A and B are shown apart, each in its own frame.
Chain A
Amino acid sequence: MDSTVVRTGTEGKTWGGGNQPIGASYGKMMMWFFIVSDALTFSGFLAAYGFSRFKFVSEWPIADEVFTHVPFLHGQELPMIYVAFMTFILIMSSVTMVLAVDAGHHMNKAKVTLYLFLTIIGGAIFVGSQAWEWATFIQGDYGAVQTKGGNILQFGEYVTVDGEQKFKRISIDEFAVLHPSHREQHQRHNGLWFVGEDALPPYTVNEIYDGLAANENILVRNQTLNEDGEKTILTRAESLQQMKDNARLVVKGANLQVNEYGATLFADFFFFITGFHGFHVFSGVVINIIIFFNVILGTYERRGSYEMVEKVGLYWHFVDLVWVFVFTFFYLV
């Protein structure tokens, strides 16, 4: 460290500079302070998520039903597996980072290079996984209908699995009755030049209603949670009634305006919090790459200290730390 600090010639004098009363260099201490302020930002977001969830505590989407997909295992419902994998990747890249810091203390350039490289790879895998998770969430799987009050109606039927009655979701693609009508999306070039509209939903409400009416087995599930924490399933008569009276819009997937899994706020917070975290991971990877090249070029070798790796390492571990909390509050609790 000494070599990075310009000597002022006033060493030993209390106000002469160069003192480290907290036992950490300026850069490291400022990184810690940045981490504290960033931790408060993230806890602000997570607390806001908690606020909205408490506000709608009796109808919040169940994470296990939302994030069920794993790449290459199409059509299987495997909640938690993929996020667990992502968590493990991030912890693993934290480990390679701390190993790089340790190698830096021993001034071992080859090992710092190797471990930093592995850290960058881990970060890239994580960001890629998150992109896939977003894409799957935006795509949606079963589709749903939104009511006038903004509630979500989902569809399914009772099936018997191993002697137990279970409610199995049915995709709207499977039962919608297509009517031969055509509705063009209003874009600026084919209608009024100063207005347009978003992409049209895949079906009209009538098509879904007729499909529901034609299939005796299909029931509607609303988003109200019962005592067991499961969503309420309506009777056949209630299902038809609810669809007839309140259905307004067919929804597939999730975005900032609609969410086929339930409360739109859930999607908003998901995009915002995991997006903000993903942005941190991305910038962490970029900073790691810069430091990686500095290590290869021998900058820190000449400086006589690998403290820069340590400072970037602090940031990288912080990103991991935040993910631990996001994981708990979005996927587990």
Chain B
Amino acid sequence: MAHEHKLEIFKGLVKFKSNTSKIWGVLIFLTIVTLVEVILGIYKPDALMHNVMSPFEGGFFATVGNILLSPIIYMKPLNVIFIVLTLVKAYYITWDFMHMRDEKGSLRRMVVWTAVFLVCYLLFILLQEGGYVFSVYNGENALIKRDF
């Protein structure tokens, strides 16, 4: 069971001869991704430091639009890149180092869907609430005063 490995990564674009060479291949890939993150983190290119869009103003549909497009409305492109690269790294660690690629679909879904759903839910409510508390602290009728 555990001795058979799927040796293709990137949807079959790269196929390794043995499990060992796949491990080294994935290491090289993860190292490159980390290097890209570190280089971007040190130099912080100006082009990636400003939000692409400003929030929609208006009624219900503007709010829906703001939520759907929140990664490009409320986040700097650089941070979006960092988070995407992190998820890419997490995928390859789980799929190739933890051998999720070789497990049955049922186990894979049990682990991944549960975690992904609950994490998304938790993130949504906590970050939404954090933004609200910020607006209470810093809005026009802010109740909080800092240096008194």
| Interface set of A (CB-CB < 8 Å, partner B) | 1, 21-24, 29, 32-33, 35-36, 39-40, 43-44, 47-48, 50-58, 64, 79-81, 84, 87-88, 91-92, 94-95, 97-99, 101-102, 105, 147-151, 228-229, 242, 245-246, 307, 310, 313-314, 317-318, 320-321, 324-325, 327-328, 331-333
Residues B111 and A324 in contact, CB atoms below 8 Å apart:
no
One of B8-16, B65-73, B78-86 at the interface: B78-86
A163 vs B65: C-alpha distance in the bound complex, in angstroms? 44
Residues A32 and B111 in contact, CB atoms below 8 Å apart:
yes
Residues B115 and A54 in contact, CB atoms below 8 Å apart:
no
Residues A91 and B27 in contact, CB atoms below 8 Å apart:
yes
| Interface set of B (CB-CB < 8 Å, partner A) | 1-3, 19-20, 23-24, 27, 30-31, 34-35, 37-38, 41-42, 49, 79, 82-83, 85-86, 89-90, 93-94, 96-99, 103-104, 106-107, 110-111, 114-115, 118-119, 122-123, 126-127, 129-131, 133-134, 137-138, 145-148
Residues A99 and B89 in contact, CB atoms below 8 Å apart:
no
A80 vs B35: C-alpha distance in the bound complex, in angstroms? 11
Minimum CB–CB distance for B56 against chain A, Å:
20
Chain A residues near B133 (CB-CB < 8 A): 54-55
Residues B122 and A79 in contact, CB atoms below 8 Å apart:
no
| Nearest 9 CB-CB pairings of A with B | A54-B130, A149-B146, A149-B147, A23-B104, A51-B130, A328-B86, A51-B126, A84-B38, A47-B126
Contact partner, A22, options B98, B106, B115, Cβ 8 Å = B106
A29 vs B2: C-alpha distance in the bound complex, in angstroms? 13
Question: From DSSP, what is the main secondary structure of chain B's interface residues?
Answer: helix
Residues A333 and B94 in contact, CB atoms below 8 Å apart:
no
Question: From DSSP, what is the main secondary structure of chain A's interface residues?
Answer: helix
Chain A residues near B37 (CB-CB < 8 A): 328, 332
A87 vs B27: C-alpha distance in the bound complex, in angstroms? 12
Chain B residues near A310 (CB-CB < 8 A): 2, 99
Chain B residues near A57 (CB-CB < 8 A): 130-131, 134
How many CB-defined contacts (below 8 Å) exist between A and B? Answer: 155
Residues A325 and B90 in contact, CB atoms below 8 Å apart:
yes
Minimum CB–CB distance for A114 against chain B, Å:
14
Residues B98 and A80 in contact, CB atoms below 8 Å apart:
no
Contact partner, A43, options B38, B123, B129, Cβ 8 Å = B123
11 contacts across the A-B interface (CB closer than 8 A): A23-B104, A23-B106, A40-B118, A50-B130, A54-B127, A54-B131, A54-B133, A87-B34, A149-B145, A324-B93, A331-B41
Most buried by B among A29, A43, A48, A92: A43
Chain B residues near A332 (CB-CB < 8 A): 37, 41, 79, 82
A313 vs B23: C-alpha distance in the bound complex, in angstroms? 14
Chain A residues near B103 (CB-CB < 8 A): 22-24
Chain B residues near A102 (CB-CB < 8 A): 19-20, 23
Contact partner, A105, options B2, B118, B148, Cβ 8 Å = B2
Chain B residues near A21 (CB-CB < 8 A): 106
With A47-B122, A55-B133, A321-B90 given, is the CB distance from A333 to B83 under 8 Å?
Answer: yes
